[in-house]
Amino acid sequence: MTTDLTEITVIGDDDTGLVARVTSLLFERGANIEDVDQAVRDGVFRMTLAVDTAEMVCTEATLRADLHELGEDLGLDVQVRFPADRETQRIAVLGTSESHCLEALFEAWTNDELGADIGVVIGNHDDLEPLAERYDVPFHDIGDENGQQNEERLLEVLAEYDVDLIVLARYMRILGPNVVFRYEDRIINVHPSLLPAFPGAEAYRQALEEGVRVAGVTAHYVTTDLDQGPIITQRAFDVPDDANLEEIKRRGQPLEADALLEAVRLHLNGDVSVHRGRTSVREGERDYQLGLPDEVDELTPDRPVDGIVDVVDDATDAESEDADRETEPEPPAN
């Protein structure tokens, strides 16, 4: 969403009349709705609105209170984020056991390269707790003995730390609509394949079994459809003929961290937006790597390309016209 608009997210059980009640309240307060999107998944209703509140006829505090009161009446959870609320952004990092992506985020944060704070690390195991402690960041384990996540506890932690962005740093659990809908276009995941190829679990193994020569990684926004969210950044690497699974992981993991970190920067800087399931990057002075490095262009052949037949035909037609002119008889002299 545009950063100078107020973001309103409405979550709850699906029912009739919900959209009308919320939009009517906004109209009565003089707030102008710029964009609205709604969806239902597994009985969970979600509506996100981008609202211009610059000329509304009440204060921000009043609008927030009125929306929360309406939410209580309708059994809805209503979140309101005014532009000023997002001046200092806070990240929650979710992980399981692999540390490379979390380490990259921590290094960028300590080097003041993120422009946001890592407020909390959340895991479904406690493997990453020592790394979080080293950087003096709170850690919460929301998994049971089998690593199954407690989504209610997850939502409580995210609310406790007032999280703006959720980063899945090789988090090996699927988030349900109750979480995804609340943080629409604010959850970034990194997947170890060049999506849409090899979605789901064991992506590197899938690539190995299919015999690919080029594999890669993808950072994308999370949606309720597994590994089908809008793509932000990608990286690629060669797969040697004799590569095993460990070799592919060794080549891919540094690129996972790199692609994820670049996607997070794009989001935090407000330079990436989502429209109809695709991302677009705002033109500006920042230099991002979205896919392969620029050096690859120098090694990529630029010919042949389709169209040579048309060129040949045009040249042949021109030659025929010249030949016809040369063979035409000269007009008689007067």
Which are the catalytic amino acids? Answer: 227
Which string of DSSP letters, residue by residue, matches 217-230?
A: EEEEE--SSTT-SP
Block residue for tokens 């990240």: 91
β 76-81/44-52 pair status: unpaired
Distance CA 262, CA 266 (A): 6
The two tokens of residue 164 are: 């703006």
Cα–Cα distance measured from residue 183 to residue 48, given in angstroms and rounded to the nearest whole number: 10
The two three-digit tokens of residue 149, written as one number: 């996540």
Backbone angles phi, psi at 94, to 5 degrees: -105, 130
* Pairing between β-strand 6-13 and β-strand 44-52 as defined by DSSP bridges: antiparallel
Strand partners for 168: 94, 189
